A and B are shown apart, each in its own frame.
Chain A
Amino acid sequence: MTTHAPAVAHDAGHPAHSEPTGFLKYCWSTDHKVIAMQYMFTGMLMAMVAGFMAYVFRMQIAYPGMNVPLFGHVSPDTYNALITQHGSIMVFWVAMPVLLAGFGNFLIPLMCGCDDMVFPRINRLSYQLFLLSALVLIASWFVPGGGFGGAWTAYPPLSAVGKYNLTPMGSTMWVIAVALEFVAFLLGGINFIVTSMNARAPGMKAFDVPLAVWMIVVASLLFMASVGPLIAGAVMLLFDQNLGTAFYNPTRGGDPVLWQHLFWFFGHPEVYVVLLPAMGIVAEIITVFARKKMFAYKTVIYTVVATGVLSFFVWAHHQFVAGIDPRMANVFTVTTVIISIPIAEMCFLYIATLYGGSIRFSTPMLWALAFMSEFLIGGVTGIYLGASGADIFFHDTYFVVAHFHYTFYPIAIIGTLAGITFWFPKMFGRMMNETLGKIHFWGTIIPFNFIFIPMFFLGLSGEHRRIYDYTNFPDLATPSMQALRITSTVALVVMLLFQFVFLFNFIMSMIRGKRAEKNPWKSNTLEWTADSPPPHGNWAEMPTVYRGPYEYAVPGRERDYWPQDERA
């Protein structure tokens, strides 16, 4: 393992790094890049499952009672299970593995200039536990009673009492799966933080570290500091379900609202846990494709830290009308609205980075710019929900659904696609097809807006969440509202179909794409000085760092980029 030692040739015979071959490679590899790919592919498979679920329940909403093609009839309990699992998967088994674990594993050693994670075997264990958690979740759909259907927030008493949720086994397995997933990410987080702090290339000072690494590290810190209470809460829920304890049972001295506090104390920082890696990816891409130094790099880091700290003091905005003391809402509306300041500042700095640039609209850049534009919609609509007085009406309506999809979709889907299209040459040594990439981009972004903009209007008309058939409610069953629901569903189907373009492009480019050179985008950061794809150990000769990551268009130099490892 490389620490502060001077750059030396990588010792291929290091015992901790003897690499299994063939199929075993994928079971026992400790190579951070293999583990990154494992996380990423598992996450993408889970995304397909969750996307299919979205298709099924959106069809049921648009055409209640129909036999959904490729699925069949959607009963109320199936509907509840589908929305619950869709939410759980997208947050815990897609956004986190792909953005935090996938990109974190791939980028941290490569961007910091070291040969692997500091604890490679802990890293491997992290993925194995993650895979186990995914298998437990999938198995939970096939046990008697079916999968858990009490929403991804799993509020007790519904989640705690079998006779209320009717899925005693499914809900227990859901809790176990989530808890295992947390353990996996705690192990991963240790690696991310220690590696980036202790194993950076010689010469790489804290403010020479690329923003993607900074943000993944801050995200890991947020995750590790917030998840403890929820793990305790999950164990209490497990005990309530199976051992007859009454932590959340009001008839025996418990309190159902306790779970909400534990859940959202984690749940809100979690938004930033997944947001920050995506913001980091976008920072790398806009600087490369605008050929610009990051505007006020240090201020960006300060806003990230400020956002992270503030995110621990906003959780109760999810509970304004949940029965908490109404005076609490006044405190949490202040903290919640105030968090707009560092986040807005961060967005302004990103936008300012474009000023004076020379912007090339390649596919990764299109995704990065789309992230900014779409995330802004998610950001401004959050103000409505943070304003306590307005949240009385908006809470648990489709306005909320639209709002958080305008944050989570840019994060989990747009951010991921930006990252994949950008680092694809480094990951697989080949270039992706640019034309197919652009077709996929427009085929995703346009329908995406048609899915979720109607939901803002449905929410404003009072439509509440998690309902399988709105014809049961006279005021919500109007033809104009149904037309909006159908619009949204049709747009979803179109968007999902366009993902086949991506899959085709991804697989074909991996097999027969144009061979990628070391640094196809003319970027500064260290990963582009390794071979494409980098071998186990990453570099034959470890790099030394002489400058920050964003020295583009430095006056007086002929080339408009200046790699971090190039001697002055």
Chain B
Amino acid sequence: MLLNLPRASTFAGDIDGLVVLVTWLVGAWFVATQLMFFWLMWRFRARDGVKSQYITGKEPHLKKWINIPHTLILLCDIVIIVAAVRVWVKVKQTLPPADDTIRVVGQQCTWAFQQSGTDGTLDTADDVWTSDTLHVAEGKTYHFLLESKDVLHSFFVPVFRLKQDAIPGRTITGWFKANRAGSYDILCAEICGIGHGIMGGRIVVDTPEQHAAWMQKHSVVADAGATTTDSTAATGAKN
């Protein structure tokens, strides 16, 4: 867990683990370097009658103080690179099979979400469109198709540790699997104009039963072609 930020997706733990690993490695270097730095400042402060020494930096007994840390940093770098790439490949480069697919559309300055409805297929008559609020089921792997209608946006769900820019003219596919019920912020992390400061939404992670009931309700309404009065959901078949 990063400070007070809960983990609500299956890969949040991987990213946090990487952050913790980096913290231990660079933290150790940081503390050691600062301690050495301040110690040298104190130890070699100007004192009456003590002249400074003539050191070129070629002296082997001093050079090792540069060369050994230098090699150790290379080793730390390799550890960090391997760990970073492993997390990256898992989150961004592989696509586990989907249980369901949603479409996320950014538009100055709001998020719209298209869900597959009860039939589990996108772009059919029972699709559910919502704006600002996205309902997903805990434990289900979702693919999202990220699109933008105007400028760049960035789909950012801090509790999932998920971020992906949306680019007009492209559809970017990604995935997540929520594992902690609750209601969390969706943010737009890329400046998108005058409304960037209000562009956000909520992601509601339901238990599978709650989610099925929610989908049933809205999907049926969509099927009937009626509009809903649910303040968080603007539904309508779009195809």
CB distance from A357 to the nearest CB of B (A): 5
B 153-172 to A, binary, CB cutoff 8 A, 1 in contact else 0: 01010110111111111101
Distance in Å from the Cβ of B45 to the closest Cβ of chain A?
Answer: 5
Segment at the interface with B among A115-123, A173-181, A292-300, A503-511? A292-300
Say which residue of A155, A461, A467, A553 sits within 8 Å of B2 (CB atoms): A461
Question: Which residue in A351, A361, A465 is a CB contact (below 8 Å) of B36?
Answer: A351
Q: A79-B197, A155-B152 are in contact. Are A395 and B189 (CB under 8 A)?
A: yes
Contact A380 B26 (CB under 8 A): yes
A3 to B37, CA, bound (A): 41
Q: Taking the nearest CB of chain A, how far is it from the CB of B49, in angstroms? A: 10
Contact yes or no, A390 B84, CB < 8 A: yes
Asked if A464 is at the interface of the complex by the 8 Å CB criterion, the answer is: yes
A464: chain B residues within 8 A (beta carbon): 156, 187-189
- Chain B residue numbers with a CB within 8 Å of A334 are 81
- Please judge, given known A-B contacts A250-B170, A293-B54, whether A468 and B91 are in contact too, CB under 8 Å: no
- Give the tally of cross-chain contacts (CB within 8 A): 291
Give the distance in Å from the alpha carbon of A86 to the alpha carbon of B15 in the complex. 32
* Residue contacts A-B, CB under 8 angstroms, 30 given: A76-B194, A80-B194, A293-B56, A322-B167, A326-B93, A337-B77, A340-B77, A341-B74, A344-B29, A351-B37, A352-B65, A355-B40, A359-B41, A359-B46, A361-B45, A373-B37, A388-B92, A389-B18, A389-B91, A390-B18, A390-B84, A393-B163, A395-B163, A396-B154, A396-B189, A396-B190, A462-B5, A473-B187, A473-B200, A553-B54
Instruction: Indicate if the CB atoms of B5 and A460 lie closer than 8 Å.
Output: yes
| A357 to B161 Cα, complex, angstroms | 48
A387→B192 contact, CB < 8 A: no
Taking A323-B170, A330-B85, A356-B53 as known contacts, 12 extra A-B pairs with beta carbons closer than 8 A to each other, sorted by chain A number, are A292-B55, A295-B66, A321-B154, A323-B166, A330-B88, A333-B84, A348-B33, A372-B37, A383-B25, A393-B15, A395-B163, A466-B196
A387 near B84 with CB under 8 A, answer yes
Query: Does A124 lie at the interface of the complex (its beta carbon under 8 Å from any beta carbon of B)?
Result: no
Bound CA–CA A77/B109 (angstroms):
13
Report yes or no: A359 in contact with B45, Cβ–Cβ below 8 A: yes
Given contacts A291-B52, A354-B41, A476-B185, contact A341 B77 (CB under 8 A): yes
Bound Cα distance A357, B37 (Å): 13
Convert B40-84 into 0s and 1s, putting 1 for each residue whose CB lies closer than 8 angstroms to a CB of A: 110011110011111111100011011001100110010011011
Which of A291, A344, A372, A397: most chain B Cβ within 10 A?
Answer: A344
Residue of A nearest to B39 (CB): A354
Complex partner residue of B169 from A149, A251, A461, CB under 8 angstroms: A251
Instruction: Name the distance in Å between B234's Cβ and chain A's nearest Cβ.
Output: 20
Q: Write the nearest CB–CB distance from A521 to chain B, whole angstroms.
A: 13
Which chain A positions have C-beta within 8 A of B63? Answer: 296
Query: Which of chain A's residues have a CB closer than 8 A to the CB of B89?
Result: 330
Is B193 a contact partner of A390 (Cβ separation < 8 A)?
Answer: no
**Given A337-B77, A387-B22, A475–B163 Cβ distance below 8 Å?**
no
A457 CB–B CB distance under 8 Å: yes
The answer, among A293, A338, A351, A369, for a CB contact under 8 Å with B33, is A351
- Please measure, in the bound complex, the distance between the C-alpha atom of A280 and the C-alpha atom of B77, giving whole angstroms: 26
Please determine whether A383 and B26 come into contact, CB atoms closer than 8 angstroms.
yes
In the complex, are the beta carbons of B189 and A327 less than 8 A apart? no
Interface positions, chain A 209-250, Cβ under 8 Å from B, are 250
- Say if the beta carbon of A452 comes within 8 Å of chain B: no
Q: Is A150 an interface residue (CB 8 A)?
A: yes
Which residues of chain B are within 8 angstroms of A554 by Cβ–Cβ distance?
54
Q: In the complex, how many residues of chain A place their beta carbon closer than 8 angstroms to a beta carbon of chain B?
A: 98
Near A by CB (< 8 A), chain B positions 171-223 give 172, 184-185, 187-198, 200, 202
| Residue positions of A touching B, CB distance < 8 A | 76-77, 79-80, 149-151, 155, 157-158, 161, 164-166, 250-251, 255-257, 290-297, 299, 320-323, 326-327, 329-330, 333-334, 337-338, 340-341, 344-345, 347-349, 351-352, 354-361, 369, 372-373, 376-377, 380-381, 383-384, 386-390, 392-393, 395-397, 457, 460-462, 464-469, 472-476, 478, 480, 552-555, 560
Q: Chain B residues in contact with chain A, CB under 8 A?
A: 2-5, 14-15, 18-19, 22, 25-27, 29-30, 33-34, 36-37, 40-41, 44-47, 50-58, 62-63, 65-66, 69-70, 73-74, 77, 80-81, 83-89, 91-93, 108, 150-152, 154, 156, 158-159, 161-170, 172, 184-185, 187-198, 200, 202
- How close is A287's CB to chain B, nearest CB, in angstroms? 10
Chain A residues positioned under 8 Å from B73 (CB to CB)? 340-341, 344
Note all chain A residues with C-beta closer than 8 A to B77. 337-338, 340-341
Complex CA–CA separation, A299 to B56 (angstroms) = 11
Q: Whose C-beta in chain A lies nearest to the C-beta of B172?
A: A323
Q: Is the CB of A157 within 8 A of B150?
A: yes
> Judging by beta carbons under 8 Å apart, are B44 and A390 in contact?
no
Are the C-beta atoms of A469 and B55 separated by less than 8 Å? no
Q: Is the CB of B185 within 8 A of A256?
A: no
The one of B40, B92, B167 that contacts A392, using a Cβ cutoff of 8 Å: B92
Tell which of B3, B57, B85, B198 has the most Cβ of chain A within 10 Å: B57
A256–B14 Cα distance when bound, in Å, is 31
Docked Cα-Cα span, A70 to B75, in Å, equals 53
A-B complex: 8 closest residue pairs judged by Cβ atoms: A250-B169, A389-B87, A462-B158, A296-B57, A356-B53, A387-B84, A291-B52, A358-B52
| Interface pair B167/A164, CB less than 8 Å apart | no
Closest A residue, CB atoms, query B15: A393
